[in-house]
Amino acid sequence: MIAGLDALELLRNVADAYRAIATLEVEAVNINESGDEDASSRSEQRVRFFYSAPNRVRYEPCGRDGMIQVVDGTHLHTLVRHARGFEGSPQVSSIPISNMHSLPHVFRSDFPLTNDGTFLFQGIEERVADARILRHEDGCYVIAVTYSQSSAHPGVVTRGDILFWVNTATMMVMKQQGDLGHRFPVDDEVRWTRLTMTVRNIRLNEAISEDIFRFTPPADANSAATGRCGSSTSVGSGFIQNDPNEHRRIEHRGSHEWQGDTLVEHSKWKIRGIILSFERRLTFSDDENELSIAERIVGPQGEAGGSFRVALK
């Protein structure tokens, strides 16, 4: 701790500074790093963020690809621009901001790290379990903060401290860094990503054109997914349905694949703390008049199974 400074008081000053903002314009770089010594990946994306109090936002990655978000005061509009080489039209969606927990890219203490960056830090002082000012660096206080984990989001966790570089004059966050973990349903392993957001340029309380917060979708944009894959070998999905009573939490992960002419479904559930695995094999008769189904269920004390046929015509 630096003499004379209290870490929690500094966080409150940061939150107050962001609440007092009339407009904000930021150019930043988001860096995502994952993997280990055997295999790793790193991505870097330059982005721009605009804000006009109390409820207008624009976020856009630089370049031709990626997701643009515009909050015009009443709705959040999202435009997903496909990566180069991907066939299909841009996708557009809109939802009322009355249906949202908060504006996009606003700091949430229950989700203190996000893959696409946080730029408004009101609320940075909430749910703090521990905070320490580490040093003074490049005109910033470097502060380490640990936030209380939220049991409402068991699939998303943070590891250790989250670091913030706070400008000593403006109380603006110039850099944020931390480790974000995702746990897949019915899986103990956590996949970690080191996230770093670094502000390159910042403008406070300067005029922003009204056009920035107007959203006009491209002429070729669709509101529903388009395009079709020519073939598929495996598809997977999953979910975690939380409950205040952890005994009632449900986790599921499933996938399916073709093995010759047999469609095989794999399903894994965690219910009441017990893991159950299901395998279902669906085979059509040569004339497609009948479907044969074989099931196998594996529990902690063994397995069971059965088979039956269904007439189709």
Evaluate if residue 154 carries a pLDDT over 50: yes
Highest-pLDDT range among 151-165, 176-190, 288-302: 288-302
What pLDDT is stored for residue 252 in this prediction?
78
Task: Give dist(CA 135, CA 1) in Å, integer.
Answer: 8
What pLDDT is stored for residue 85 in this prediction?
45
Highest-pLDDT range among 80-94, 209-223, 260-274: 209-223
- Residue range 104-152, pLDDT digits in tens: 999 999 889 988 899 999 999 999 999 999 999 999 999 999 999 765 5
pTM value surpassing 0.95:
no
Range 7-213: architecture per CATH: Clam (2.50)
Evaluate if residue 51 carries a pLDDT over 90: yes
- Residue range 201-251, pLDDT digits in tens: 999 999 999 999 999 888 887 774 333 333 333 345 677 776 677 777 778
What pLDDT is stored for residue 232 in this prediction?
33
What pLDDT is stored for residue 140 in this prediction?
97
What rounded mean pLDDT belongs to the chain?
Answer: 85
Residue found under tokens 């940075």: 124
What pLDDT is stored for residue 228 in this prediction?
32
Within a 10 A sphere around the Cβ of 227, how many other Cβ atoms?
10
Per-domain residue ranges of the chain = 7-213, 234-311
Per-position b or e across 159-181, b if 16+ CB within 10 A of its CB: eebbebbbbeeebbbbbbbbbbe
80 or 26: whose pLDDT is higher? Answer: 26
Percent of the chain beyond pLDDT 90?
46
What pLDDT is stored for residue 225 in this prediction?
39
Percent of the chain beyond pLDDT 70?
87
- What's the rounded mean pLDDT across residues 252-278? 81
- What's the rounded mean pLDDT across residues 175-203? 86
Evaluate if residue 86 carries a pLDDT over 50: no
Strand intervals (E) in the chain:
23-35, 40-52, 56-61, 66-72, 75-81, 91-96, 128-137, 140-147, 156-167, 173-183, 190-204, 234-241, 250-259, 262-271, 274-284, 290-299, 302-311
